[in-house]
Amino acid sequence: MAIVLSAPVEAEPHSTSRTSNGPANLATIRAAVIAAIKDAGYLHVPEGRRDHTTPAETLRLHDLD
């Protein structure tokens, strides 16, 4: 005898972040962050992201401190 548990099926969320201009805007922001990290002298983007995790460090990265 098999026991079958069924969960209620929920509808997909109607998120609009992946439609219209959202993807292009996020790609532009991502490219700007990568460029800033490379301009700061980092060879590897993940290392630069780890080093700039607080707001103050991020402002320093963009010479806004």
Q: Given this model, what pLDDT does residue 31 score? A: 93
Q: Is residue 6 situated within a structural domain?
A: no
DSSP 8: P
In total, how many domains does the chain have?
1
Q: Given this model, what pLDDT does residue 57 score? A: 83
Q: Is residue 15 situated within a structural domain?
A: no
Q: Is residue 42 situated within a structural domain?
A: yes
Q: The domain containing residue 40 runs over which residues?
A: 23-61
Q: Given this model, what pLDDT does residue 15 score? A: 65
Q: Is residue 9 situated within a structural domain?
A: no
**Exposure b/e, 4-35, CB count within 10 A at least 16 = b:** eeeeeeeeeeeeeeeeeeeeeeeeeeeeebee
Q: Are 37 and 60 within 8 A, CB to CB?
A: no
Task: Please give the model's pTM, rounded to 2 decimal places.
Answer: 0.60
Q: Is residue 11 situated within a structural domain?
A: no
Q: For the segment 5-53, what is each residue's pLDDT rounded down to a tens digit?
A: 666 666 666 666 667 888 898 899 899 889 988 988 999 999 988 888 8
